[in-house]
Structure 1
Amino acid sequence: MKFFIAIALFALCALAQAQEQQTCQVDVQSACGSIGSGEVRNCNARYGAIGHLEHKMQDYIQLQLKKSYEYLLLATHFNSYQMNRPGFQKLYQGLSDRAFDDTIALIKQVTRRGGAVDFSKPHDKGVANPPEVHLNELESLARALDNEKELTLGAIHVHTSATHGTTASREHDPEMAHYLQENFLSKQSASVRKLSGYANDLSKLVSVREPSLSVYLFDEFLQKQ
């Protein structure tokens, strides 16, 4: 008899534990019951470490949007009749478009995981203070390289948080880490390598006494990329 009582108690405990874990099911049962509240707050797409990654992702989204704006200003600067550097304009327009597309992709990733992105709140990653863009060709490449490294470090920061979790809970998020690895870290590494090569090549070309022809030919090279 004691054996059957113990089995029954174990089954009841397991059922109660399952109900606690299936919070969406509990919400639905409550909402659809005879005195249901109509609320199913736990029926969402949030899981893993989205709770502590959400604000970090928003920071990175704001950074991507800021860099897209900066690259657009650089592209406009080199597209003017004074500068007339279509190769540099093409390079920076491409970087601006890529950063903007990455912004949209990151927003979709956050909302797919049940998070939200709020652009109404002021943020230190915003675009309130536009950067100085009246730079020469080599200075602009140096600025672009610094920007790409900043974007890379931003992705690494979120990836590290997704991999190692918070100090208190050690909760991690493999799906978010994989998403950043596949879509951002490899791409950013290639971009840093390309721009660092451009900056070093152009620095050698402008070291001659009359660098105008060298800069013109380098711009021609950029147009073909």
Structure 2
Amino acid sequence: MKSFIAVALFAGIIALAKADDYGCHKNVTFGCSNSILNPVVCHSRYGGIDNIESGLQSYINLNLHKSYQYLLMSTFYNSYQKNRPGFQKLYKEMSDRSFDDAIELIKQVTRRGGQVDFRAISQHPNSIAQSNLKLEEDELHSLGIALDVEKTLTEGAYHLHLESTHGRPHDPQTAHFVEEKFLERQVDSVRKVSGYVNDLSKIMNQRDPSLGIYLFDQYLEKQ
């Protein structure tokens, strides 16, 4: 009886194997080539990566651009004229975070069998090469810029998640990646920066806000 069950199970496995289309298995000897006659079939692309890859590229562009923008803001407040170490620290940390996020996104693309087009980054309307940023802002207006940037990054993550979950076919792995790496953290970031904006706006409405701005900068430096 046991031998009969074993034979039946083995036969079932063979039948399932024949029913599946193992493209790489059938073409493994030439499946990694790339020609008209022999297109690549042994790769790490699956699910909805074809639908989401352009969205990932756009979010990489956005993070690199915002990292550069924050870096300029950081160096502006690190000058001897401005001398705001707290603002310098805040914007440097935000610059590093956006750059690290771009690296994680690049890893995600290559992990799923894609390739990042760095020429598209340099040609993007918001790219570093195309940037024309204004730095003649006071501390309050710079925080307003930072809040706008964080909301833009949040909207970008939401759009990427929407493409991952509603595309056909959808890509649950990318959706999970975006949720884990970006969505929750962006909520906290928008909340934090909006709090800074409202606190500093109250200080700026005073008759002489210079001491209040100094103390606020000291507070940022200790965070």
Category of TM-score, reference length = shorter chain: 0.7 to 0.9
Question: Which 4+ stretches in 1 moved above 3 angstroms?
Answer: 13-17, 29-32, 37-40
- Give 1:17 deviation, angstroms: 4.7
Conservation of the 8 A alpha-carbon contact between 1:24 and 1:42: yes
Q: Helix, strand or coil: the match of 2:151?
A: helix
Aligned residue number for residue 127 of structure 2 = 126
Within-5 A mapping of 1:64-213: 64-121=63-120, 122-127=123-128, 128-165=130-167, 170-213=168-211
Alignment-mate amino acid for residue 89 of structure 1: Q
Q: Helix, strand or coil: the match of 1:44?
A: coil
Gaps of 5+ in 1: 1-12
Q: TM-score normalized by structure 1?
A: 0.85
Gaps of 5+ in 2: 1-14
- String of CA shifts for 1:81-115, please: whole Å, max 9, x gaps: 11000000000000000000111011001100111
Identity of aligned residues (%): 52
Query: Number of matched residues?
Result: 205
For the residues of structure 2 that align with 1:49 and 1:31, how far apart are their CA atoms? 21
Alignment-mate amino acid for residue 126 of structure 1: S
Conservation of the 8 A alpha-carbon contact between 1:24 and 1:40: no
Q: Helix, strand or coil: the match of 1:221?
A: helix
Q: Helix, strand or coil: the match of 1:28?
A: coil
For the residues of structure 1 that align with 2:29 and 2:18, how far apart are their CA atoms? 14
Distance change (3 Å), C-alpha of 1:15 and 1:183? closer
Aligned residue number for residue 27 of structure 2 = 27
- String of CA shifts for 1:165-201, please: whole Å, max 9, x gaps: 1xxxx31111100000011001111100000000000
- Give 1:14 deviation, angstroms: 6.9
For the residues of structure 2 that align with 1:132 and 1:92, how far apart are their CA atoms? 15
For the residues of structure 2 that align with 1:29 and 1:77, how far apart are their CA atoms? 57
Q: TM-score normalized by structure 2?
A: 0.86
- Give 1:123 deviation, angstroms: 1.9
- Give 1:214 deviation, angstroms: 0.5
